[in-house]
Amino acid sequence: MVSVFKTNYAKDKIDFRMEATIDELPMPTDEMRKGIIVPEIGADVYQEDPTINKLEELAAKKMGKEVALFLPSGTMCNLIAVLTHCNRGDEIILEAGAHMLYYSLAQ
């Protein structure tokens, strides 16, 4: 069931709130429970984490690339993207409303 409510009738903006509920709660399978209780783990730094290795292989295959790299945050992705084009200490020019300027500088 999905309900939508208008919550703010400001002159130039109308905010909506959506509430979504489900009638039945899906229960985890035995295989899912096993994965939670006894996960395969390893040091990703040494490419020993089988879950990350599978994820990277799948991503590379889907994108038609030789390899892929898992990055756990958008900030890390932005940093690596900049460092592939610039050296440490270089400056970059960003548009005034650039996402990186507001969300990746830890300000």
DSSP output for 2-30: EEEEEEEEETTEEEEEEEE--SSPPPPPH
Q: Is the pTM of this model over 0.75?
A: no
Quickly state the pLDDT bin for 73 (edges 50, 70, 90): confident
pLDDT for residue 21 = 64
What mean pLDDT, rounded, does the chain reach? 79
pLDDT for residue 58 = 94
With 80 as the cut, is the pLDDT of residue 82 above it? yes
Average pLDDT over residues 16-42: 76
Nearest Cα to Cα of residue 14 among 22, 24, 4, 23: 4
Give residues with Cβ within 8 angstroms of 42, minimum separation 6. Answer: 48, 49, 50
